[in-house]
Structure 1
Amino acid sequence: MDNGLTHEKSTFINFRRYVRDLKKHGFRWVDIKQLRFCAESADDGKLLAALIGHDQFRDDYAGGGVLPDGSRHGPYWLQSITSDLYQSISQEEAVQILREWVGSLWGVSTELEADLQREVFARVAAADGIHYLGELGNEAIHDWGRVHDYFHEFVLVDRSAGRITLVVAADD
């Protein structure tokens, strides 16, 4: 267990698997990391802080994978991310952000839609709390952090399941 959280599993949805025209959206993907916490765990702010301190959070999402001693998280320097930077948003807002991102694709296959529904939208619907990491600004972006065209990050807290889920939806 790391910071009160235990990594349970990760799922990666690579849109390349579902599309024919890679020029349109061949580098779009969703990464989902599920971690368990104790049912008596603290408020969402403390859960967010525990997640930021967890090894699984040290992922540059650019092919390097999780680096336990890493200093990057997505396009940002890890040191630039704190729990108070996450906005609490509604399920409707989270779905709208994700649908607009996915909606820029023409002809989403039924297989991709089913996988997104099962792995992403069902988790959003089950969450008691949804936290969104907005744009942090130029000073937070690491030396090669602009490889992502879009970077959407959600932290879903499902207290009844004792699970926190990190969902990153991005293009690169």
Structure 2
Amino acid sequence: MDSGLAPEEGAFINFRHYVRDPKEHGYRWVDIKQLRFSAESVNDRGLLAALIGHEQFRDDYAGGGVLPDGPRHGPYWLRLITPDLYEPISQEKAGQILREWVDPLGDVSTELEADLQREVFARLAATDGIYYLSELGDEAIHDWGRVHEYFHEFVLINRSAGRITLIVAADD
């Protein structure tokens, strides 16, 4: 199935590269995948469905990378993820969720803060719509999905740029 989405270069921020002692918070990271869509694309729910159907979405975020035929997405069984599970949220709420995830780490390095600002917070500020993947519940967790203590997923839809961005902030 052709989703009409074309992958572009993304970004990966591994907190381990910013700390002296990885046990502090070196097992956290942010993965950013970007895909381009055509101007005549469908509504936001249609774009979410296309993203869910795209092979770049088939990532368990546990070191295996994208598996084109993989049955998992993050800690969840892929088959249980639908566009209706994504709730629209404000830029402020998305920023608050991410800050609450980062802030318990204490003082983050200037370099990490700059990278988070450039790669994550600037993208949030420049998008038309933000969707947050709700908690799916225990029945949706795959066989080893509890490897993540935290798993935050945002989908940014920027119609003027023709870009959909998947941001996953998690740990392992």
State how far apart, in whole Å, the 2-side matches of 1:98 and 1:68 are. 28
State how far apart, in whole Å, the 2-side matches of 1:23 and 1:113 are. 19
1:1-172 pair list within 5 angstroms: 2-172=2-172
Q: CA deviation at 1:107?
A: 1.4
State how far apart, in whole Å, the 2-side matches of 1:135 and 1:171 are. 16
Q: CA deviation at 1:117?
A: 0.6
State how far apart, in whole Å, the 1-side matches of 2:40 and 2:92 are. 27
Let me know the Cα RMSD of the aligned residues.
1.0
User: What's the TM-score, normalizing by structure 1?
Assistant: 0.98
Cα distance, 1:111–1:43 mapped onto 2, change above 3 Å: same
Task: Report percent identity of matched pairs.
Answer: 78
Runs of 4 or more off by more than 6 Å in structure 1?
none
Gap runs ≥5 in structure 1: none
Gap runs ≥5 in structure 2: none
Task: Report the residue type matching 1:99 in the other structure.
Answer: R
Task: Report the residue type matching 2:31 in the other structure.
Answer: D
State how far apart, in whole Å, the 2-side matches of 1:109 and 1:88 are. 31
Is the 1:2–1:55 contact (alpha carbons within 8 Å) kept by the matching residues of 2?
A: no
- Aligned pairs, how many? 172
Task: Report the residue type matching 1:42 in the other structure.
Answer: V
Q: CA deviation at 1:46?
A: 0.3
User: What secondary structure sits across from 1:104 in the alignment?
Assistant: helix
State how far apart, in whole Å, the 2-side matches of 1:91 and 1:39 are. 23
User: What's the TM-score, normalizing by structure 2?
Assistant: 0.98
Is the 1:7–1:34 contact (alpha carbons within 8 Å) kept by the matching residues of 2?
A: yes
User: What secondary structure sits across from 1:119 in the alignment?
Assistant: helix
Task: Report the residue type matching 2:131 in the other structure.
Answer: H
